[in-house]
Homo-oligomer: A and B are copies of this chain.
Amino acid sequence: MQTYSLAELVERFGGRVEGDSTVRVAGIGSLARADENQISFLSSVKFRDQLATSRAKAFILGEGVVGPDGKPSIVCDNPYAYFAHVSGLFNPPPEAEPGIHPAAVVHPTAVVGAGCSLAAGVVVERDARIGDHCVIGPGSVIGQAAVIGNHTRLYANVTVYHHCVLGERVILHAGVVIGADGFGLANEQGRWVKIPQVGRVVIGNDVEVGANTTIDRGALDDTVIHDGVKLDNLIQVAHNVEIGEHTAIAACTGIAGSARIGAYCTIGGAAMIFGHIDIADHVNISTNTLITKSLPHAGTYTSALPFSEHSEWLKNAVQMRHLDSMVRRIRALEKKLETLERTNGNS
Q: Name A's B-contacting residues (CB within 8 A).
A: 29-30, 33, 78, 80-81, 83-85, 87-88, 90-94, 97, 101, 103, 105, 119-121, 123, 125-126, 137-139, 141, 143-144, 155-157, 159, 161-162, 171, 173-175, 177, 180-181, 183-188, 190-196, 198, 208, 210-212, 214, 216, 220-221, 228, 230, 232-234, 236, 238, 246, 248, 250-252, 254, 256, 264, 269-270, 272, 274, 284, 286-292, 299-310, 312-324, 326-327, 329-330, 333-334, 336-337, 340-341, 343-344, 347
Contact = CB atoms under 8 A, between A and B. Distances in A.
Interface centre among A156, A194, A198, A336 (most CB of B within 10 A): A156
A119 B319 CA distance: 56
Contacts of A316: 320-324
B101 A103 contact: no
A292 B286 CA distance: 11
Nearest to A287: B272
5 contacts: A84-B195, A236-B251, A303-B305, A319-B324, A323-B323
A24 B236 CA distance: 39
Contacts of A94: 143-144, 162
B173 A181 contact: yes
B159 A174 contact: yes
A315 B328 CA distance: 11
Given A234-B234, A301-B307, A210 B183 contact: yes
B233 A256 contact: no
Given A180-B233, A233-B180, A155 B144 contact: no
Interface centre among A93, A139, A161 (most CB of B within 10 A): A139
A269 B287 contact: no
Contact of A337 (B196, B214, B307, B337): B337
B305 A317 contact: yes
A307 B326 contact: no
Contacts of A210: 180-181, 183, 214, 216
A278 to B, nearest CB: 15
B310 A302 contact: yes
Given A212-B212, A256-B287, 20 more contacts: A84-B188, A91-B198, A105-B138, A121-B139, A155-B161, A173-B177, A183-B233, A190-B264, A210-B216, A232-B236, A234-B254, A300-B309, A302-B310, A302-B314, A303-B304, A303-B308, A304-B313, A318-B324, A326-B330, A337-B340
B251 A234 contact: no
B302 A304 contact: no
A192 B306 contact: no
Contact of A302 (B144, B232, B246, B313): B313
